[in-house]
Structure formats: structure tokens, C-alpha cells
Amino acid sequence: MSVLEVPVLSVKQLNKQYGNGCSTCNYMKLGKVTKNYCHECGTVYACRGVTFDLHHGEVLGIVGESGSGKSTLMKSLYFDEEVTDGDMYVAGFEDGKKNLFMESAQKKRFVRNHLMGKVYQNPILGLKMNFSSIGNIAEKLISAGNRHVGSMETRGAELLEAVNIPIHRMKEEPRNFSGGMQQRVQIAKALSNNPPILLLDEVTTGLDLSVQASVLDLIKGLQRDLNISIVLVSHDLGVIRMLADRTLVMLEGKVIEQGLTDQILEDPQHSYTQQLVHSLL
Amino acid sequence: MNKTYNFAFFDEGSKREIRRATLKAIAIPGYQVPFASREMPIGRGWGTGGLQLTLSLIGKDDVLKVIDQGSDESVNAVNIKKLVSDTTGVRTTESTADASLIQSRHRVPEVPLQRDQILILQVPLPEPLRNFEPSEQETKKLHAEREYSGAWLMLFEQIMKYGIMATDADHPVMVHDRYVMAPSPIPRFDNAKLDDSEALILLGAGREKKVYALPPYTNVSSLAFDDYAFEIESFTNHACILCGSNDLFLDELVDGESGETYFQCNDTSNCLEMVNQKQISGVK
């Protein structure tokens, strides 16, 4: 690794709040909030000063309890939600020098369509359930500028094969599929235009153990073969242990601890992380 | 002429509001301009969008033609013609060349339009992305960001399912390389007539409260893929049973008694003119 290597994705001081805030809670550090909620005005501080870098070919795990801001962070990174403030730089866009959160909606869409892929926890959010599976994959390719049916069909079939969906079912709508299959179609869609950054939001939550294992296997394999960078959100430490090189621990919207995954799991420093690791069955 | 109503049925304020929307629509080709669609003496979905445009534009010197799917004599066309001429006293015609204002449902006339004519199309569903995205708020964003993957995706799905682009009518078009537009349910055969048209084309959706326009000489191209070209309906080896034309849009009809199928021009007034012309030259 060269000393001068630029991160693929760099996030600085990302803040996301729901609500306007009031004089009681306005000052981030001094304000009075219970957990991340203000009793005066009902404002929720979902992400508070989240900062991290994602390097080439790295898997970055994010753990934390429900409501700790993991999913909000992922939504912000994929521009599903507008952030309150903060910076985000992507290596493939303007040499990673422009803050993407300040760019126009078109530029954001370009980055989303060309440089990113996302797998949502709930397949309904990531797939069009009444379009065919191959159509879902084509959607991503079309938005990246492809206008050739033949090449999109070949690419789609190739990807569905890679995620173990039988080719004879590729023209079927994902609503006919089981949860695990839907999740795999989502992964195929996210990978369709070889994005350098893949965002995975609780991909295995709610799947049974054997399907979980095959989805994890698939992600690991793809990551090794294609050398993509992944941000992986999960509250399952087993998943994190298996996939993530480095891990952030979030609590009440803040990153409370970060480091190599082994280090976090073997020698947790923050009391919440200690509790989390000890409650691992 | 019925004097109980103001000229052209509407009060002047209503006409001005519709004209204002129309002007904006002409200024931004292919962009759907919302307007305050009025209650009409006919039901929404029966051509109220087109009728409101007609009533707001018509003047005493205009000559009106109304077509309903190629026919001048269907109930809808006749009733709209009656309403307009009753409240304005303008002359109506069946000849495309004579008309200055042509209101049409689902067809562009076969006779090429001239520069001093205005074609008004009735539109049931103005939003080309509606089947892809049900929310109006979202489709507005997609138009603003020129994000039209959805339009192509719908065509892709048809190719996956049927092997061809299976839009019978209302095949989406790209207007001046900016807005994707629903051309109203005209057959694909008519899409080419929109491109570089000499006449002003206005489209009105009364129920959906939208007006949009193609000013003269606007580039209009039908959406297609690199390896699946846009194709119009073909009537090879068929000709109109009445006038013998084989290069126009034909309807396939079934003879009730013999059960045989035959073809006939969809544009009735043009067909009649062709037949008359033939008879005149036959007499010579």
C-alpha cells in the first residue's frame, strides 16, 4: 500500500438531524439530549460527526444497536436522504476533491449510477417488484447509459448466474422469489456496472442460517474477485467478524470506537462495545 | 349561435388562464405545464383537455375540424363540434386542409399539416413515466434531472416479455433531446408526423390537469435501443377497400356475414377525398 493512497470514499463530520433543533439541544456538544433525542422539540440527531475513510478493496464494518444511526448513515451515503451538513469525497468523482453533498442532484445521481451499488435490508426498497429480475438489473445499466438490449441481457444473465439464480427464472418478477433469492437479485443489481463502492445495509438480517451463509459466501467471493470496497452495516457480530477488515462501532449517532475487527472484538475499549461483545452468544 | 353563454363557453378569465399555461408549454417543448382544468359539460376523460385548449384558442375566423380516432362522424367528435359551433358560431369542416384548428383524439391526420394550422390532441395520461413511478412528486424530479431510465426500462421489459417493443400506441418520444413525452395514444405510425412538424401541436389532459406542446419544427424522436430500432405498424400487402391506399394507417375489420377480414383507411375524411378524386379523374 502506497503512503499516498487516496481513500475510495471519505466522509468527514457527517451530521443528520430530523427536526430543526431548539435552544436546549442546538449546541451539539453542550446541548441537553436524552440519547440522541431532544425532549423540548422532538429533534432526533441520527448521525453526529461521523468521520471515516474507506480504502481500495477494503471491507468496513459498521455495528451498533437499533437506532444508532447506521441505516441513516447508509441512506445519506447513497443520497436517499439529504444530510444536514458534512463532507463526502469519492475518488472517481472530480479526483475526490469536490464535496459531493454540495453538488447538484444530477451529479449525485451520476455518482450513484456509475460509482456505487447498494443492497437494502428490505428488498422492496432496492427492487421493482413488478418488473422482471433481468429488468431490475437492466435498470441500473440503463441509468449508467447502456442502450443495447443484447449486451444488457448477457450481462444480467451472467450476474444472476453468479448469484445462483437459475437462468430460466430470470424473466420472472422478484415478488415471486423467496427472501434470500430477492436479496441475491439485489446484489446482482448492485454489482451490474462494476461499482468501485458497494453499500450493504443488513443484507443477511431476516434470512435463515443456510441462506445467510450462502449470501455471505457470495459477497466474500465477489469482493475478492472484483476487489471492490464495501461498507457493511450489521448488528450481527458474526457477519462482521467474517467479512470486515476494519470496524466502526456506533452508538446514539456517534462513532464511539473504531479499529481492526479483531482488535474491536478481542479488546473492546468502550463500555458499550464491551457489553456488545460479551452478549455475543 | 347560443347567446346565453360567453363566446366560446368559457368566461374570459378561464380562457386567459388556459392560454397562459399554453404559452408556457410552447416555451418549454415537451414539458407538462399544470393548469386549472375547468369543469366541462362533458365528463373528464372524454376530451376535456383538448376541448379546453380549443375553446381558449378559437376566434371568429377559425375553421374547426374534430376527429375521433380518425373519424369525423363519431359521437364524440360530433358532440364536441356541436358544442363549439353552438357557443362560437364558427364554421366546421371535415377537410384537413381547410381547417385552421384541428382537435383530435388518438390520430394525427394523414394530410400533412400546414404552418398556419394548430393540432390539438386529447391526452388521457400525460405522464410517460407513470407506470414506472406512481408518485407525481418523484416523476417531477425525474423530469427535472432528465433521468429517463424508467422509460427505457419499460421498453426493455416489453422486449424481454414479447421479443419486440410492444407499445401499440403512445410510444414515448424524446423532445428536442430534453423531455421524454407521451405523444397521447396515437399509433406509432403517427410518431414520425410529430417530428419537425410545420404546424403547432398542443396536447391537453383535462382530468390530469396538464398542458404540453410541440412548437413548429421541434425535433421529436421515438425512444429505441441500439439493437432494437423503432418500427411503425406495417400494412404490407394490404390496401384500403374503398380508396386503394396502401401507405396509410389502416383499420382491420371483419365482414359480419362472410367472416372475412378487410382493411379500410382509419382517416375517413382523407379516404373520402381520395375516392372523390379518383371518380373525378375517372369521368375525364
CATH number of the domain bearing residue B163: 3.40.50.11310
Give the residue on A whose Cα is nearest the Cα of B165.
A149
Last residue of a domain, one of B179, B199, B222: B222
The residues of B annotated as belonging to the active site are: 30, 240, 243, 265, 271
* Same-domain check for residues B135 and B266: no
Are the C-beta atoms of B172 and B151 separated by less than 8 Å?
yes
CA proximity to A59, closest of A264, A248, A267, A255: A248
Q: What would the pLDDT profile of B31-62 be if each residue is shown by its tens digit?
A: 999 999 999 988 888 899 999 999 999 999 99
pLDDT at B263: 95
pTM of the model: 0.89
Distance from the B274 Cα atom to the nearest Cα atom in chain A, whole angstroms:
42
Query: Which residues from B are below 8 Å from A143, CB to CB?
Result: 147, 149
pLDDT at A278: 87
Nearest neighbour of B145 by CB, restricted to A106, A128, A142: A106
In a domain? residue B55: yes
Are the C-beta atoms of A235 and A66 separated by less than 8 Å?
yes
* Same-domain check for residues B214 and B281: no
pLDDT at A67: 87
Q: Does A272 touch chain B (CB under 8 A)?
A: no
* Same-domain check for residues B188 and B260: no
Contact at CB, A135 and B156, closer than 8 angstroms = yes
Give the residue on A whose Cα is nearest the Cα of B146.
A106
- Half-sphere exposure (Cβ direction) of A52: Cα atoms closer than 13 Å: 26
- Predicted confidence (pLDDT) at residue B3 exceeds the cutoff of 90: no
pLDDT at B163: 93
Tell me what the pLDDT averaged over chain B comes to: 94
Give the pLDDT mean for A60-68.
Answer: 91
Please list, in sequence order, all residues whose beta carbon lies within 8 angstroms of the beta carbon of residue B22, skipping any fewer than 6 positions away. Answer: B33, B53, B56, B57, B202, B211, B213
- Predicted confidence (pLDDT) at residue A31 exceeds the cutoff of 80: no
Contact at CB, B226 and A147, closer than 8 angstroms = yes
pLDDT at A238: 87
* Same-domain check for residues B20 and B160: yes
Q: d(Cα A84, Cα A90) in Å, to the nearest integer?
A: 19
In a domain? residue B5: no
Give the residue on B whose Cα is nearest the Cα of A142.
B149
Give the pLDDT mean for A154-180.
Answer: 91
CA dihedral (A125, A128, A132, A133) in degrees, to 10, reads -20
Q: d(Cα B250, Cα B193) in Å, to the nearest integer?
A: 16
Confidence band of A43 (pLDDT split at 50, 70, 90) = confident
Contact at CB, B227 and A135, closer than 8 angstroms = no
Eight-class DSSP state of A203: T
pLDDT at A29: 57
Are the C-beta atoms of B245 and B274 separated by less than 8 Å?
yes
Give the pLDDT mean for B180-205.
Answer: 96
Query: Which residues from B are below 8 Å from A149, CB to CB?
Result: 156, 159, 225-228
pLDDT at A143: 93
Please list, in sequence order, all residues whose beta carbon lies within 8 angstroms of the beta carbon of residue A178, skipping any fewer than 6 positions away. Answer: none
- Predicted confidence (pLDDT) at residue A227 exceeds the cutoff of 90: no
Q: Which three cell numbers stand for residue A207?
A: 434470512
In a domain? residue B4: no
In a domain? residue B275: yes
Q: d(Cα B136, Cα A143) in Å, to the nearest integer?
A: 20
Locate cell 379523374: which residue?
B281
For the four alpha carbons of A159, A163, A167 and A168, in that order, the dihedral sign comes to: negative
Higher pLDDT, A246 or A193: A246
Q: What would the pLDDT profile of B78-93 be if each residue is shown by its tens digit?
A: 999 999 999 999 999 9
Say whether A9 sits in a helix, a strand or coil. Answer: strand
Are the C-beta atoms of A216 and A204 separated by less than 8 Å?
yes
Q: Which three cell numbers stand for residue A256?
A: 464511539
Which of A110, A131, A152 would you mutate first to test chain B, the one with the most B CBs within 10 A? A131
pLDDT at A26: 72
In a domain? residue B181: yes
Last residue of a domain, one of B170, B188, B222: B222
* Same-domain check for residues B282 and B200: no
* Same-domain check for residues B29 and B156: yes
Which of B155, B156, B180 would you mutate first to test chain A, the one with the most A CBs within 10 A? B156
pLDDT at A164: 85
In a domain? residue B228: no
Q: d(Cα A264, Cα A269) in Å, to the nearest integer?
A: 8
Q: d(Cα A209, Cα A63) in Å, to the nearest integer?
A: 19
Q: d(Cα A253, Cα A69) in Å, to the nearest integer?
A: 5
Domain range for B129 is: 12-222
Contact at CB, B149 and A132, closer than 8 angstroms = no
Contact at CB, B156 and A148, closer than 8 angstroms = no
- Predicted confidence (pLDDT) at residue B283 exceeds the cutoff of 70: no
Give the pLDDT mean for A98-117.
Answer: 92
- Predicted confidence (pLDDT) at residue B187 exceeds the cutoff of 80: yes
Give the residue on B whose Cα is nearest the Cα of A130.
B132
Confidence band of B157 (pLDDT split at 50, 70, 90) = very high
- Predicted confidence (pLDDT) at residue B223 exceeds the cutoff of 80: yes
Tell me which architecture the domain covering A9-278 has in CATH. Answer: 3-Layer(aba) Sandwich (3.40)
Q: d(Cα B1, Cα B132) in Å, to the nearest integer?
A: 47
Q: What would the pLDDT profile of B111-146 be if each residue is shown by its tens digit?
A: 999 999 999 999 999 999 999 999 999 999 999 999
Query: Which residues from B are below 8 Å from A131, CB to CB?
Result: 153, 157
pLDDT at A155: 93
Counts for chain B of helices (H) and strands (E), in that order: 7, 12
Cβ atoms < 10 Å from Cβ of B281: 8
pLDDT at B74: 92
Distance from the A265 Cα atom to the nearest Cα atom in chain B, whole angstroms:
43
Contact at CB, A171 and B161, closer than 8 angstroms = yes
Contact at CB, B147 and A148, closer than 8 angstroms = no
Query: Which residues from A are below 8 Å from B160, CB to CB?
Result: 132, 134-135, 153, 171
Give the residue on B whose Cα is nearest the Cα of A136.
B153
* Same-domain check for residues B244 and B160: no
pLDDT at B45: 85
Confidence band of A5 (pLDDT split at 50, 70, 90) = confident
Confidence band of A214 (pLDDT split at 50, 70, 90) = confident
Q: What percent of chain A has pLDDT over 70?
A: 96
pLDDT at B89: 94
Interface of A with B in 161-190 (CB under 8 A): 171
pLDDT at A162: 84
pLDDT at A32: 72
* Same-domain check for residues B111 and B139: yes
Tell me what the pLDDT averaged over chain A comes to: 89
Q: d(Cα A280, Cα A105) in Å, to the nearest integer?
A: 42
Query: Which residues from B are below 8 Å from A125, CB to CB?
Result: none
Say whether A87 sits in a helix, a strand or coil. Answer: strand
Are the C-beta atoms of A8 and A90 separated by less than 8 Å?
yes
Contact at CB, A149 and B225, closer than 8 angstroms = yes
Q: Which three cell numbers stand for residue A254?
A: 456517534
Distance from the A148 Cα atom to the nearest Cα atom in chain B, whole angstroms:
5
- Compute CA distances A65 → A17, A234, A250, B37, B45, whole Å: 18, 9, 8, 52, 53
pLDDT at A245: 93
Structural domain total, chain B: 2
Q: What would the pLDDT profile of B257-267 be if each residue is shown by its tens digit?
A: 999 999 999 99
- Predicted confidence (pLDDT) at residue B238 exceeds the cutoff of 90: yes
- Compute CA distances A124 → A120, A237, A278, whole Å: 8, 25, 34
- Predicted confidence (pLDDT) at residue A281 exceeds the cutoff of 70: no
Are the C-beta atoms of A120 and A78 separated by less than 8 Å?
no
Confidence band of A153 (pLDDT split at 50, 70, 90) = very high
CA dihedral (A69, A75, A76, A82) in degrees, to 10, reads -110
Give the residue on B whose Cα is nearest the Cα of A131.
B157
CA proximity to B224, closest of B131, B159, B146, B178: B159
